[in-house]
Chains A and B, each alone.
Chain A
């Protein structure tokens, strides 16, 4: 991958990353952080590739360790986020723009 393509990817991803979370209410800070945490568990892809290419036993062992850690990050992250969010089910519309909530 050449440097300019890479820089393009990087900058676009930074802009999107800033943009998508800039309007979030405090109610959702915790689930959002947890969800973002799960997303970087995709390092599992890298762990699989590195481990799948090696012929060296030492690398294999450390690579498998990386696979286990990355799986815990990814799977655990999505599951715990889902658990948090399932509690918001059904009441969700009320929370919408936090400051404009109506009395009831």
Chain B
């Protein structure tokens, strides 16, 4: 099927590249986001169709079958995933993309000749880069998936000398990559070297992500996403395919910016996220005695507190989403408003598991967008609030972020619920949040705790408010 001339192919690839740029631009603004995504998808479909008609391909039935298999796996998974589990699914999709890029570049280098001299050397370098970084992205994403899915501990995993093991594996990977380049540049077969490189890179990816703490994992997903973009760009070079080059570079660049924006939203620097756990921690559980008294209340107590307040600010967290309590919290808010109480929602930028995640979750429950306030907007309101109702959130209201240098979340902007007259926490247990640190606010005299599943607790509070 050699229907399209190289010029026609190149022009259609250009159209696809423009689609991707429009897609990224569209995704940056709420009004155009969905259309942007669809334009991106259209560009991708066109590019794939063109790939079939641009060269004389063999094995086409097999390829079509493989695409069908991939689609049959991906669509139901993406359709059915609970919105709470979405960050890890994105991580997984990113990882398989990185794996695919590594395979493509590795196969291309071993399977066909790339001349000799400088051109072969550059191609071999781009290929070795793709194999290394693509595989790191693959194994790293699998580890982030396991962390977010809580298949393994969400705490940073460190062991004595961990940084040396990581360093050694990285040096080994780079050395292997360089030898693959040298062999490839001299026209030799470097298939075996690339295979070994892939194996070592798997280890590098795992060691890279293991020390990253739970709350920082989403930022690592974004970083690995940028990595995969760069590998796609490099494999575009190996294949002399401009579309892959442009699309991969776009994702690499925008992914890098996005990673920095996300890190800034959490008040973290990327180096401290990646290498923070390697340094000895200065603060470990200062005063994290398990037996200190807390004030726990009944649903009726909470209802009275809320029912006679003038202003209530709800701070929802991941626990609310897990319990699917979005509808119940809305019912409570409606009841309070019927009693002439002012109700606001304060949404931390990283509430949920990823920046913007909570907005998606509340939108799913039809909570009107107008009452959702961003952190900067709601923080001054706490001083005049009678009650701050924290539902299933912990790290994002932890004053340790302001008061305890050395705490893993130190420097992260928080919801200043401690400024409110009273603070009510709905929690499942005293277990610390995702970042794994104690919250001093829980022990304050003005704090009341109501233990239990967020949805059950809220339903009881709703019933009590009704009978006030």
- Which of A10, A72, A77 contacts B249, CB < 8 Å? A10
A interface: dominant SS: helix
A28 touches B254 (CB 8 A): no
Give the CA-CA distance A4 to B74 in the complex, in Å.
38
Query: Contacts A40-B229, A75-B74 hold; do A35 and B23 have CB atoms under 8 A apart?
Result: yes
B245 touches A73 (CB 8 A): no
Query: Contacts A20-B28, A20-B254, A42-B247 hold; do A71 and B87 have CB atoms under 8 A apart?
Result: no
Give the CA-CA distance A1 to B240 in the complex, in Å.
6
A30 touches B357 (CB 8 A): yes
Within 8 A of B (CB), among A10-29: 10, 13-18, 20-29
A50 touches B261 (CB 8 A): no
User: A50-93 vs B: 1/0 string, CB under 8 Å?
Assistant: 11111110011011111111111111111111111111110111
Give the CA-CA distance A46 to B134 in the complex, in Å.
14
Give the CA-CA distance A69 to B231 in the complex, in Å.
15
Query: Contacts A38-B40, A76-B75, A80-B81 hold; do A60 and B62 have CB atoms under 8 A apart?
Result: yes
A96 touches B31 (CB 8 A): yes
Query: Contacts A17-B251, A29-B261, A68-B70 hold; do A51 and B59 have CB atoms under 8 A apart?
Result: yes
Give the CA-CA distance A85 to B28 in the complex, in Å.
12
Contacting residues, chain A, for B47 (C-beta < 8 A): 42, 45
Q: Tally A residues with Cβ within 8 Å of B.
A: 90
In the complex formed, the residue of A with least CB distance to B96 is A69
Contacting residues, chain B, for A44 (C-beta < 8 A): 44, 48, 51, 67, 100
B24 touches A35 (CB 8 A): yes
Query: Contacts A13-B250, A14-B253, A20-B28 hold; do A33 and B90 have CB atoms under 8 A apart?
Result: yes
A72 touches B40 (CB 8 A): no
B122 touches A1 (CB 8 A): no
A89 touches B354 (CB 8 A): no
Asked whether B242 is an interface residue with its Cβ less than 8 Å from the other chain, the reply is yes
Contacting residues, chain A, for B221 (C-beta < 8 A): 33
In the complex formed, the residue of B with least CB distance to A47 is B104
Asked whether B444 is an interface residue with its Cβ less than 8 Å from the other chain, the reply is no
Interface pick from B182-190, B287-295, B369-377, B433-441:
B369-377
A9 touches B94 (CB 8 A): no
Contacting residues, chain A, for B36 (C-beta < 8 A): 35
